[in-house]
Amino acid sequence: MSVPVLPNSQARRIFLDRHGLSQPPSGAGKGRDLQQVIENLGFVQLDSVNTFARAHDLILWSRCQQYRPKALDQLLSRDRVLFEHWTHDAATIPMSQFKHWRLRFDRDAAWCETKWSAWRRDGFMEKIDDVLRHISDNGCCGSRDVGTEEKKGSGGWWDWHPSKTALEYLWRSGQLSVTRRDGFRKIYDLTERVIPAEHLNARPHPDESIDWLCNAALDRLGFGTSGEIAAFWDTATPAEAKVWCADALADGRVIEVDVIGVDGKARRSFARPNIMDETPPEPPNRVRIMSPFDPALRDRNRAERLFGFNYRIEIFVPAAKRKYGYYVFPVMEGDRLIGRIDMKADKPAKRLDVTAFWPESRVGMGQGRVTRLKSELDRAARFAGCDAVTFADGWLRT
């Protein structure tokens, strides 16, 4: 039988719709409304970089421009409808998914015991009981509160003292949970004090969790290879996802489709049987400033394949050799990535400084598009607590 062909234009709209980008960024941006946005996405990556706004805040703001950071803190630390753990990176995750992270806890514990013994300072496993006892007796704490007698690291970001490593190990293995953030610093407590009982006590079989992880990944992507399905949560292994896809194909839960990239090339993928009937709306013709860690763009190869957008953050490139700035933000209009912008919020001066905007090739910067970009920058300035937007000379790199 012939394999259905999903045209690039339809694939892009399906993909953006699954990632909450086919509608205007409206909604209350707090409470149940915000919780639903995160549940639809599956998770939101957390990152400390804050040149304009933290990555997780920008991800949520680009979908709901009434959102403000305090709303996320309330869902995590007050309402307990979210928890923090790991996907491909640190993330905030709906509490309803906690039971399936039992599999992740076991796998992360084994991984950390093997890898960290080679990567970290010696002795962190010997500190685990001390850290657990400290938290049990004294309540929640952060990394500054443990190992106070130990020599602090001088070898960079990841040079942790043993008790700090033990604290992170206990979090990754599920024995501790993040109860709140002080600034961006994680504060931990015993998991049984943080996670509501109905979620804490659920213990699915690992096979049930793998089935859920693969189903949930495919539903949030719209289509994907077995490798992309595995990479979504980064918990089921590529081999497990490959077996799941074969079984789902055999019993009719998925079909194979050829997804056409922007270059006209087909990529064989898996999708639900009704994928060809999906007609999501055309995304609004407005400009959105996106997070570099947005879930729609996290897989750089897929972003290039679907949208023709070659996006890499030039963190390790010397300034003299950079084509773009150190940390540039992708800019979307409708279903296209139209460029990238270099900007920084000067919080003391309450000013959003725009250094440069680089449009993509074949993207004209007429008056209408420049006006839409400046309107989004005005909204971004308000979100960052700034009163004005300033533009460097020659900022529009046409």
Q: Where are the domains of the chain?
A: 120-195, 287-391
Contacts of 358 (CB under 8 A, 6+ apart): 324, 328, 339, 340, 341, 397
Question: Residue 150 has what pLDDT?
Answer: 60
Q: What is the pLDDT of residues 54-65, one digit of tens each?
A: 999 999 999 999
> 315 or 155, which is more confident?
315
Residue 94: both structure tokens together: 């709906």
Res. 293 pLDDT band, cuts 50 70 90 = very high
Give the rounded percent of residues in the chain with a pLDDT score beyond 90.
Answer: 83
Asked whether 20 and 67 are in contact (CB, 8 A), the reply is no
Task: Say which range, 125-134, 242-251, 338-347, has the weakest mean pLDDT.
Answer: 125-134
Mean of the pLDDT values across residues 346-365? 96
Give the pLDDT confidence score for residue 157 in this predicted structure: 45
Half-sphere exposure of residue 327: CA atoms within 13 angstroms, side-chain side? 14
Give the integer Cα–Cα distance in Å for 25 and 45: 19
pLDDT in tens, 210-235: 999 999 999 999 999 999 999 999 99
Instruction: Provide the terminal-to-terminal Cα distance of the chain, rounded to the nearest Å.
Output: 48
278 residue type, one letter: E
The confidence score (pLDDT) of residue 49 equals 85
Residue with tokens 């753990």: 85
Average pLDDT over residues 90-110: 97
Of 226, 214, 334, 229, nearest to 280 by C-alpha is 334
Same topology, domains 120-195 and 287-391? Answer is no
The predicted-structure confidence for 373-382, as pLDDT tens digits, reads as follows 999 999 999 9
pLDDT band with cut points at 50, 70 and 90 for residue 364: very high
368 in Cβ contact with 329 (< 8 Å) = no
pTM higher than 0.75 for the full model? yes
Going by C-alpha positions, the residue among 294, 336, 229, 274 that lies closest to residue 6 is 274
* pLDDT at position 151: 64
Q: What distance lies between CA 80 and its chain's CA centroid?
A: 19
Classify domain 120-195 at the CATH class level: mainly alpha
Burial, 96: exposed, middle or buried (Cβ in 10 Å; 0-12, 13-18, 19+)? middle
What pLDDT is recorded for position 386?
97
Give the model's confidence band at 308: pLDDT under 50 very low, under 70 low, under 90 confident, else very high.
Answer: very high
Is pLDDT above 50 for 68?
Answer: yes
Question: The domain 287-391 is classified under which CATH number: 3.40.50, 3.30.43, 3.40.630, 1.10.540?
Answer: 3.40.630
DSSP label at residue 233: H
Question: For 177-197, what is the mean pLDDT?
Answer: 95
pLDDT tens digits for range 233-290: 999 999 999 999 999 999 999 999 999 999 999 999 999 999 999 999 999 999 999 9
- Nearest Cα neighbor of 329 from 351, 347, 309 is 309
Q: Are 392 and 353 in contact (CB under 8 A)?
A: yes
Lowest model confidence (mean pLDDT) among 36-45, 97-106, 325-334: 325-334
pLDDT of 120 > 70? The answer is no
Residue 106 DSSP SS3: helix
Distances (CA, A) of 346 to 162, 334, 370: 37, 29, 23
Instruction: Give the residue, 119 or 79, on which the prediction is more confident.
Output: 79
